[in-house]
């Protein structure tokens, strides 16, 4: 049997558990360490040292500290935690200094990354037609802390004049909609995640990608 890729889970909430469940039936990945099973827990540095890749789905409050500590161990990272956009330059310096690899995304779903491409394409077309207004809506379950979502911020960065309205209620794992609207007609593009499994699968694709690489990559770059 070939050697499995050893994963250290950083965060064991909804996403950490989803990734763990996939790894339990995987012939490629093995979870060898879990940090922050709850807020009282710290980083399992000994366990992370034995892993190939650390996968962080925690909180914007601790993600930068986690990246710093894990980089010092020389371990590559997949970062799914959202809400730290303003720290990207800092993270690039940490990655460079410690000669590691890191891949990040506000949304590891393959479908959403295809959706990003559709938005890029549409934005170019609508640039030539200023009679169309654009607006966005995103809906997430009530436990989601950041608002607008990291995915909405990423989409907003692609289309001039696009702002999102955010709803936090119920159990929706993630809905994003962009509407181009004129007096004559409207075009709606939307993505609905049905569960968290798409995010988890994408995070593991990212883990395999970053295993032997150095430098910072956005997951979107894998779709070029």
Please report whether residue 36 would count as binding ligand NAP according to CB under 6 A.
yes
Rounded Cα–Cα distance for residues 224 and 222 (Å): 6
Between 3 and 38, CB nearer to ligand NAP: 38
Which candidate, 18, 6, 4, places its Cα nearest to that of 109? 18
Between 76 and 107, CB nearer to ligand NAP: 107
Please report whether residue 122 would count as binding ligand NAP according to CB under 6 A.
no
Least Å distance, CB 107 to ligand NAP, is 4
Q: Site for ligand NAP (CB under 6 A): which residue of 19, 95, 106, 164?
A: 106
Between 88 and 125, CB nearer to ligand NAP: 88
Q: Do residues 6 and 51 make contact, with C-beta atoms less than 8 angstroms apart?
A: yes
Helix residue spans in the chain (DSSP H): 14-24, 45-49, 63-72, 88-98, 110-127, 150-156, 197-210
Instruction: From residue 145, give the alpha-carbon distance in Å to each of 81, 91, 169.
Output: 11, 22, 11
Least Å distance, CB 93 to ligand NAP, is 22
140 is catalytic: yes
154 is catalytic: no
With left for phi above 0 and alpha for psi between -120 and 50, is residue 78 left, alpha or beta? beta
Residues 60-89 touching ligand NAP, rule: CB under 6 A, are 61-62, 80-83
Between 75 and 154, CB nearer to ligand NAP: 154
Q: Do residues 61 and 37 make contact, with C-beta atoms less than 8 angstroms apart?
A: no
Contacts of 13 (CB under 8 A, 6+ apart): 57, 58
Please report whether residue 9 would count as binding ligand NAP according to CB under 6 A.
no
Residues with a known catalytic role: 140, 144
Q: Which residues bind ligand NAP (CB under 6 A)?
A: 11-16, 36, 38-39, 57-59, 61-62, 80-83, 105-108, 146, 199
């Amino acid at each position: 049997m070939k050697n499995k890729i050893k994963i250290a889970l950083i965060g064991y909430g909804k996403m950490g558990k989803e990734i763990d469940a996939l790894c339990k039936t995987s012939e490629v990945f093995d979870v060898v360490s879990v940090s922050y099973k709850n807020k009282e827990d710290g980083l399992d540095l000994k366990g992370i040292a034995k892993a190939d890749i650390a996968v962080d789905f925690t909180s914007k409050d601790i993600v930068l500290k986690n990246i710093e500590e894990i980089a010092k161990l020389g371990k590559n990272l997949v970062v799914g935690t959202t809400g730290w956009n303003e720290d990207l330059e800092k993270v690039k310096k940490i990655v460079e200094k410690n000669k590691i690899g890191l891949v990040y995304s506000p949304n590891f779903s393959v479908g959403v990354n295809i959706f990003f491409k559709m938005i890029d394409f549409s934005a170019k077309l609508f640039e030539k037609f200023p009679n169309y207004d654009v607006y966005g809506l995103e809906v997430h379950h009530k436990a989601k802390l950041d608002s607008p979502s990291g995915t909405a911020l990423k989409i907003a960065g692609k289309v001039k004049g696009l702002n999102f309205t955010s709803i936090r209620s119920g159990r929706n794992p993630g809905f994003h909609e962009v509407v181009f609207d004129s007096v004559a007609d409207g075009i709606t593009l939307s993505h609905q995640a049905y569960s968290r499994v798409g995010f988890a699968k994408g995070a593991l694709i990212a883990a395999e990608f970053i295993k032997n690489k150095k430098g910072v990559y956005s997951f979107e770059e894998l779709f070029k």
